[in-house]
Amino acid sequence: MNSLQILYIIRLIFTGFIIYHFKRSKRYSIKNHYISILQKILPLYKYAEKTKNPIEFKFADILSQLKNFDKIAVIASGNSLNKLKELDNRCLYITTNNSVYKAFGYNFLYFSFSFEYINMYLREGFNKSDGCIGTIFHFSKSKMNIKKRNRAYNLIKNYISTYSRNYPEILISDNINDSIEFENHTIIDSFIKDTFQVDFSELNSGISILLLGYYFAKKLNKEINIYGLDAGEGGQSYYTKTGVPGKDVSDDITKEFLNRILNTIYSNNELVIRNYSYFKPYNE
């Protein structure tokens, strides 16, 4: 038994103890806190390999892979995601947080800035056999005062400086000037500001993948489909029927904002746009 296998067994024992100790408790934040400490002491990244020459991926590394898809589907986690019955290998699915599990076995891109989901990603990862063609993680300097956001950024930075998986893992951040992550931030943030007059850093995860999907669709002239971006319409639950979305997902401010975003997207007469979400623009 080699040292890596021994570390793996120790890691499993401690993780199992933490999960068992807190499984009857609602104090999930404490459980995640201890698991993240364990991840720092004994990092274990499924499907990842150590690399002496880490690659900092650019947006172009993802764009070059998307040309052969017929269309793009943005899939957030709202109830209307259950309308998506038959998935298609000719479609790229842009996912976030737990909507990714809907796309397993098909071609998907994963986006997140959530500490919990990034922690989970680092531990469990995806493989090309799952359908993953790449991941995108976004962090803004203006949000680094949020403790969990800062921790998530540091977790990702530590990971990509030493490890890699078998697909592009893209970091978007304005935290370090004159870096690849800053260049990635400039590309997408400039597009969003010019098109929608909003900062990328101000968006929740569902609207973030909508605007990423629109960016890719416009760049490559692809049809775009939208699922699960419900803003509380069609029931206050996720597509899994577990949990309740936060108020920032379904309040009037979010609905007004989403209405404006969708109207701007709909105004592009050069693209085919199909919205299957329960939330519709007010003038539709």
Q: Identify the residue with better confidence: 231 or 144.
A: 231
Q: Is residue 284 part of a domain?
A: no
> Which is higher by pLDDT, 244 or 163?
163
Q: How far apart are CA 100 and CA 5, in angstroms?
A: 29
Mean pLDDT of 137-161: 85
The confidence band for 99, taking pLDDT boundaries of 50, 70 and 90, is very high
Residue 169 forms part of a structural domain: yes
Q: Which residues contact 148 (CB under 8 A, 6 or more apart)?
A: 115
Q: Is residue 210 part of a domain?
A: yes
Residue 37 belongs to a domain: yes
Q: Tell whether 112 and 31 lie within a shared domain.
A: no
What does the mean pLDDT of the chain come to?
Answer: 84
**23 and 91 belong to one structural domain:** no
Task: Report yes or no on 252 lying in a domain.
Answer: yes
**pLDDT beyond 70 at 58:** yes
Cα–Cα distance list, 157 to 15, 142, 170, 173, 191 (Å) = 23, 17, 11, 11, 25
**Could you tell me if 7 and 104 lie in one domain?**
no
Structural domain contains residue 280: no
Number of structural domains found in the chain:
2
pLDDT of residue 28 exceeding 50: no
Same domain? For 71 and 192 the reply is: yes
- Mean pLDDT over 190-210 rounds to 92
Residue 281 in any domain: the answer is no
Q: Are residues 6 and 79 in the same domain?
A: no
Burial of 135: CB neighbours in 10 Å, binned 0-12, 13-18, 19+: buried
Q: Span 63-76, mean pLDDT?
A: 93
**35 plus 90 within the same structural domain:** no
- Tell whether 6 and 115 lie within a shared domain: no
pLDDT of residue 235: 74
Determine the pLDDT at residue 138.
Answer: 93
Domain contains 282: no
Percent of the chain clearing pLDDT 70 (strictly above)? 81
What per-residue confidence (pLDDT) applies to 55? 85
Confidence band of 145 (pLDDT split at 50, 70, 90): confident
Which range marks the domain in which residue 202 is found?
Answer: 50-275
pLDDT of residue 249: 74
Q: Distance of CA 216 to CAs 37, 68, 82, 207, Å?
A: 36, 12, 24, 14
Task: Give the pLDDT of residue 6.
Answer: 59
Same domain for 59 and 36: no
CB atoms within 10 A of CB 68: 10
Q: Give the pLDDT confidence score for residue 11 in this predicted structure.
A: 57
Given a cut of 90, whether residue 184 has pLDDT beyond it is yes
The arithmetic mean of pLDDT across residues 176-198, rounded, is: 94
**Among candidates 170, 185, 119, which has minimal Cα distance to 148?**
119
Asked if residue 63 and residue 200 are part of one domain, the reply reads yes
Question: Do 26 and 166 sit in the same domain of this protein?
Answer: no
Residues 72 and 184 in one domain: yes
Q: Name the band, by pLDDT with cuts 50, 70 and 90, for residue 21.
A: low
Weakest-pLDDT range from 58-62, 107-111, 148-152: 148-152
Mean pLDDT of 28-32: 50
Residues 7 and 56 both lie in one domain: no
CB contact at 8 A, 228 and 77 = yes
